[in-house]
Homo-oligomer: A and B are copies of this chain.
Amino acid sequence: MVERADRLEESRRLSGLIVAIADQAKLDFAEAVAPFGLPVHLARAILRLGAPAPMGDLAEHLACDRSYITGLADKLEERGLLTRVPGDDRRVKLLQLTDEGQDLRDLISAAVTERSRVLRNLDDDQRRTLEPLLQALLDRTPDTDQ
């Protein structure tokens, strides 16, 4: 049996750890990507564009407004990393990486993977143990309403 106060303290510790790990993950990502001269959002966009995608999809994935994507796409286009190609629905523009963009995407992907703490700090067993716990944490709470 765990005492109430201990459980509270443990829970705060765990919450703090999770936030700290996520913050660290963002720093790791920014650091992995910096050598390529790319701000985080541009790098995330490139990673997302393994296949050509409508600008609206990217907005949804990056959790931002479509108008913001226009700016990102402009910057990536200026750098010659992607082009806008028309979709079947002619209102839609697909963002498609150029060859240079694809090459850069591969490099970024490798750099990010290389720094992955999940890969570097945990063994196979630990990863297998961790996943269901994280999944449980993410699940919508069963609303005990107690």
A residues whose Cβ falls under 8 Å from a Cβ of B:
2, 7-8, 10-11, 13-15, 17-26, 113, 116-122, 124, 126-127, 129-131, 133-139, 141-142, 144
Contacts of A127 in B (CB 8 A): 7, 10-11, 14
Nearest CB to that of A63 among chain B residues?
A: B23
Q: Is the CB of B19 within 8 A of A25?
A: yes
Given contacts A7-B119, A11-B116, contact A134 B21 (CB under 8 A): yes
Q: Is the CB of A141 within 8 A of B124?
A: no
Copies of this protein in the complex? 2
Q: Is the CB of B141 within 8 A of A120?
A: yes
Nearest CB to that of A14 among chain B residues?
A: B118
Q: Is the CB of B134 within 8 A of A121?
A: no
A24 to chain B minimum Cβ distance, whole angstroms, is 7
Given contacts A17-B131, A121-B136, contact A11 B113 (CB under 8 A): yes
Q: Which of B21, B117, B121, B141 contacts A117 (CB 8 A)?
A: B141
Q: Is the CB of B113 within 8 A of A141?
A: no
Q: Is the CB of B135 within 8 A of A17?
A: yes
21 A-B pairs in the complex with CB atoms less than 8 angstroms apart? A7-B124, A7-B127, A10-B127, A10-B131, A11-B113, A11-B119, A11-B127, A17-B131, A17-B134, A18-B18, A18-B25, A19-B26, A20-B138, A22-B22, A24-B138, A117-B141, A121-B136, A121-B137, A122-B136, A126-B133, A130-B130
